[in-house]
Amino acid sequence: MALSHLSFFFACATVALASSREAVADSTFTISSTDLAPGKPIGRDLLFDQSECKGGNRSPQISWRGAPANTRGFAVTIVDPDAPGRGWWHWAVAGIPAGTDRLPNNASASGVLRKLGALEARNDWDTDGYGGPCPPPGKPHRYVVTVYALNNDELRLRQGTPALMFEHEIRTMAIASAQLTFTYGR
């Protein structure tokens, strides 16, 4: 009798696992941007506004769709994995409400994120919020934009926390993510 209960349990677990795989496969979480088109150069307005780049330091427009139904909030990061060491963090923002499906261009500096109740990390330029690309001359660098769907809206973060710590907290709550990669070189 105990063996049949065990067999029933494994059969139910297999069905539940197969059902959850189908649900993940059916939902397509994607990211797009009017500012970051594949194969097109990025605008000067997105580049860092100090050092040799002298850009506008405006965060890019980002849109997403297909997040899981149980999403409680979103987070966005931009990291340069080609920078020496652990990479270079250009932006980390968390606490974006679940009903949000896009951020406008310059959301970081314009106050849009504050109005949403979102928090921004201290980037590797040592400023809070967005810090645009400005790699050293030479080989172009890749920049990975990630939107995370989070299963929790209770953040244990504060404005100005280093981006790497934001990323750690974000990953503990992530249920899905979508990425877009662009390159920039000088």
The pLDDT, as a whole number, for residue 55 is 95
Residue 51 neighbours by CB distance under 10 Å: 11
The pLDDT, as a whole number, for residue 20 is 33
Residue 106 neighbours by CB distance under 10 Å: 19
Q: Rounded to an integer, what distance in angstroms lies between the CA atom of residue 139 and that of residue 132?
A: 17
All domains of the chain, ordered by start, with CATH?
Answer: 28-184 (3.90.280.10)
| Three-state DSSP string of 85-118 | CCCEEEEEEEEEECCCCEECCCHHHHCHHHHHCC
**pLDDT tens by residue, the chain, 186 residues:** 443 333 333 333 333 333 332 223 235 999 999 999 877 889 999 999 987 888 999 999 999 999 999 999 999 999 999 999 889 999 999 999 999 999 999 999 999 999 999 999 999 999 999 999 999 999 999 999 999 999 987 777 778 888 888 888 899 999 999 999 999 999
